[in-house]
């Protein structure tokens, strides 16, 4: 994602568009922080007796004999840690804070649950459980360093935000068995919707609720499909 917030005045001064970008983070800093986090995960996984698995995700580790065929899994409420906004970071004109409200969090939870059920549990004949009591396993998902280029609200021609991705963050998950033992951990830093390319190969797309939900759904499906392949 680009690291510049640039207001653009179109043909009429009444029409304003903005590029909603994440605060500047150098590639070296991202690589260093990612490598440190991965090392920490490997160390923790090793202490729990988990073995690293080859994966398209940044890191996956699982119990040696893990078999989730026909398993029921309870998906705990999603945890979100937002990226701290730099004091110099500009907010698109007329928008509220870049966080999800209760209904948006609930929708994201449902989107994750559907992607997990279809792309990970489905191939194993498993299912989602309504509660933790009767479930074979409990999955806790977290989005950390989560960044939205603009608040998730409908824009108009007077207020438009363009971005290379609809969101940025690190998706991590921990799977527990009924005894509370960790049997699976995974982690992946990603830009949601970064495969977009408009006409002529433009890298910017207009940020909007439909684009956000479509890209999140697509990337979550890819993430859980990749996790599925890691355990085969």
pLDDT of residue 29: 42
Whether the CA torsion 194, 197, 203, 209 is positive or negative: it is negative
Torsion of Cα atoms, 221 then 227 then 230 then 231, to 10°: -110
Q: 90 pLDDT exceeds 60?
A: no
Distance from C-alpha of 161 to C-alpha of 150, rounded to nearest angstrom: 7
The tokens of 19 are what? 């590029």
Q: Which domain holds residue 203?
A: 6-230
Q: Is residue 225 part of a domain?
A: yes
| Pairwise pLDDT comparison (202 vs 67), residue with the higher score | 67
Phi, psi of 6 (to 5 degrees): -130, 110
Q: Is residue 1 part of a domain?
A: no
Highest mean pLDDT among 94-103, 129-138, 145-154: 129-138
Q: How many CB atoms are closer than 10 A to CB 6?
A: 12
Q: How many domains does the chain have?
A: 1
- Find the largest Cα–Cα distance for the chain: 64
Work out the pLDDT band at 195, boundaries 50, 70, 90: low
Q: 81 pLDDT exceeds 90?
A: yes
The rounded percent of the chain whose pLDDT value lies above 90 is 49
Q: Is residue 14 part of a domain?
A: yes
């Amino acid at each position: 994602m680009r690291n510049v917030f640039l207001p653009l005045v179109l043909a009429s001064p009444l029409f304003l568009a903005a590029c909603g970008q994440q605060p500047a983070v150098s590639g070296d800093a991202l690589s260093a922080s990612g490598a440190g986090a991965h090392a920490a995960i490997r160390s923790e996984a090793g202490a729990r007796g988990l073995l690293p698995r080859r994966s398209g995700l940044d890191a996956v580790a699982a119990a040696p004999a893990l078999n989730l065929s026909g398993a029921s899994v309870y998906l705990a409420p999603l945890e979100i840690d937002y990226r701290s906004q730099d004091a110099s970071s500009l907010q698109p004109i007329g928008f509220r804070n870049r966080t999800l409200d209760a209904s948006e969090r609930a929708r994201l939870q449902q989107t994750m649950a559907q992607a997990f059920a279809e792309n990970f549990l489905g191939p194993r004949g498993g299912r989602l459980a309504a509660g933790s009591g009767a479930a074979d396993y409990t999955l806790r998902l977290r989005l950390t360093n989560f960044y939205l280029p603009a608040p998730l609200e409908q824009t108009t021609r007077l207020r438009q935000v363009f971005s290379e991705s609809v969101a940025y963050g690190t998706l991590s998950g921990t799977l527990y068995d009924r005894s509370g033992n960790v049997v699976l951990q995974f982690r992946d830093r990603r830009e949601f919707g970064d495969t977009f390319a408009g006409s002529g190969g433009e890298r910017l797309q207009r940020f909007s609720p439909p684009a956000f939900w479509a890209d999140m759904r697509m990337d979550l499906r890819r993430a859980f499909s990749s996790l599925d392949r890691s355990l085969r």
